[in-house]
Amino acid sequence: MLEAAVKTKIMSEVDRRFDEQTKVLADLVKIPSTRFQEAPAQDMMARLFKEDGLGVDRWQIKIDDLKHLPGYSPHSQDYDDAWNVVGAWRPSNPKGRSLILNGHIDVVPEGPHEMWARNPFEPAIKDGWMYGRGAGDMKAGLILNVFALRALKSLGWQPAADVYQQSVVEEECTGNGALACLQRGYRAEAALIPEPSSGVLTVAQVGVMWFQVKVTGHPVHVYKADAGSNAIESAFRLIQRLRELEKKWNAKKAHDKHFCDHHHPVNFNVGKIAGGDWASSVPSWCTFDMRVGVLPSQTLKECRQEIEDLVRQAAANDPFLGNNPPSVTWEGFQAEPFVLKNHEQVRVVLAEAHKTVFGSELEDKTSTGTADNRFFGLYAGIPALVYGPESDDIHGFDERVNLESIRKITQATALFIAEWCGLQKAA
C-alpha cells in the first residue's frame, strides 16, 4: 500500500498541474473529431505521448485485419483516414502489474450549431464546467490519463510495469478501434477507461445493435393517393410494431439480476429517417435507422432474428408490402452485453484510490449504453473498469464536463496507477 505521504504528494502534484491540464483539454476539444475527421485530434494525442517520452504507435485500421474477429461490427464506410494511436511505457525491468489506459477520440455529430449556446468546438468554462462537443465524452478522460502519469513523472517516479495509453476511433459507432488494439497485440493485466461515469464503476451494460430498414412504396399523384402505397407511412407503422418489441424485451428485466430494478433498461431509438422525393407524390421509398438495447440474458443472434421476424410479419399484413417486403440491414454496432467478471483484485485497488480522494466508498452501477470495456473483458480476459468524471448532456446540445470531478478522477487515477503498477525512480 502507498504511504499516506506519497498519496498526498501525488494528489498535490495533480492539483499543481491542473490549470495546464484544463488548457490541454480545451485545445483537444477545439479539434472537431467526428467520424472520418479524427486524424488531426489523433495527431495531437501522438504529440502528447511523444512529449512524455513514450513509444508512439500510430497505425491505420484495416478492416481485413478485423472482420474475422469476435466483436467486429460491420461498417461499409471508408477506413482510409481511421487512425489509432498508442503511447507505450515499457520499463527496462518491469516488476508491477501492467495496465491499459483506454479512451476514444471520436465524438458524435454536434447537430445544428444555432441550437447550442455557443460554438460546440469553442470550449468555454462557466460555473465550474467546460462546455463543448466531446469535452465529457470523452476527451476529458483521455487527457486525465495523460496528466495522471505526468504527475507521477514530475515527482521523479515512473510506473514499474508496462502502461499503454490508447486513443482509439469508432467507439461511438462500432468499437472497431478498440478491437484493432487487441488485434495489434496489446494486452495487460487490467484496463481502466475514464468514460463519463460520475465517479462510479460500471459493472454491467446492455448490448447495442444498429440496423436500417428500407421500405418501398407505390408512387402516384396525390390526387389519387389511395391508389398508391406511402413508404413513409408504412415505415411509421413498422416503427410502432418495433415499439411493441421494445416493451417485450423490457419485460425480460424481471429475470435479469443486473437490470431488474431499472425502470427502462432497453431503449429502441429511431436515430435517422429519410424518404420521398416530392411533396405532391406518394413516396416510393423510406429508410430508417434504429439503435436497440439488448439485456445480458439475451443474445445478439436471437435478437436479430426477432427483429427480422417482426418486420416480415408486419409487412405480410400490408397489401403492398406483402409482395414487396422491407429489407433489414445490420451495420454499425453489433455490441454484446457485458458483465464485469474476475475484477475483484483490481477493484480493491481502484476503490482504495477513490476513497482516498473522495472520502467515500466506490459505488457500482449498471449502464443502458455500451463502451469499449466489453472488448477487453469478453475477448481478451482483461478486467476493464469504466470509471470517469461527471458529465452532462453528452450526445446532446451544450455538452459539458465538471472540472472538479476531472481533478478528483485524475487524482484517483494517478493513485490507482501508482498502486496497481508500482513505482520506480525515474531514470
**pLDDT surpasses 80 at 279:** yes
Per-residue CA distances from 275 to 213, 239, 312, 367 (Å): 12, 14, 20, 33
400 torsion bin: left (phi>0), alpha (psi -120 to 50), beta (else): beta
Local confidence band at 219 (pLDDT 50, 70, 90 cut-offs): confident
Mark 44-56 as b/e (b = at least 16 C-beta within 10 Å).
bbbebbeeeebeb
**pLDDT surpasses 90 at 308:** yes
User: Measured on CA atoms in the order 207, 78, 108, 182, is the torsion positive or negative?
Assistant: positive
Contacts of 47 (CB under 8 A, 6+ apart): none
Q: How far apart are CA 53 and CA 91, in angstroms?
A: 12
The whole-number average pLDDT for the span 128-153 is: 98
Average pLDDT along the chain? 96
Q: Report angle CA 407, 408, 411 to the nearest 5 degrees.
A: 90
The whole-number average pLDDT for the span 2-11 is: 97
Q: How far apart are CA 2 and CA 155, in angstroms?
A: 14
Local confidence band at 146 (pLDDT 50, 70, 90 cut-offs): very high
CA atoms within 13 A on the CB side of 199: 23
Report the share of the chain in percent with pLDDT over 90.
95
Q: How far apart are CA 349 and CA 344, in angstroms?
A: 9
Q: Report angle CA 41, 46, 50 to the nearest 5 degrees.
A: 150
Contacts of 256 (CB under 8 A, 6+ apart): 265, 295, 296, 297
Amino acid letter for position 332? G
Local confidence band at 17 (pLDDT 50, 70, 90 cut-offs): very high
**Please, are residues 210 and 151 in contact by the beta-carbon 8 Å criterion?**
no
**pLDDT surpasses 80 at 427:** no
pLDDT in tens, 238-266: 999 999 999 999 999 999 999 999 999 99
**pLDDT surpasses 80 at 310:** yes
Q: Considering the entire predicted model, what is its pTM?
A: 0.96
Q: What is the pLDDT of residue 405?
A: 98
Determine phi and psi for 174, rounding to 5 degrees: -140, -40
Q: What is the pLDDT of residue 123?
A: 98
Local confidence band at 154 (pLDDT 50, 70, 90 cut-offs): very high
The whole-number average pLDDT for the span 360-383 is: 98
Helices and strands per DSSP (H, E), number in the chain: 11, 19
Q: How far apart are CA 111 and CA 268, in angstroms?
A: 20
**Residue that wins the pLDDT comparison between 227 and 113:** 113
The whole-number average pLDDT for the span 288-299 is: 97
The whole-number average pLDDT for the span 53-70 is: 96
**pLDDT surpasses 90 at 220:** no
Cell numbers that stand for 128 in this block:
465550474
Report the share of the chain in percent with pLDDT over 70.
100
Q: What is the pLDDT of residue 222?
A: 80
Of 282, 276, 273, 299, give the one whose Cα is nearest residue 213.
Answer: 273
Local confidence band at 189 (pLDDT 50, 70, 90 cut-offs): very high
The whole-number average pLDDT for the span 355-368 is: 98
**pLDDT surpasses 80 at 392:** yes
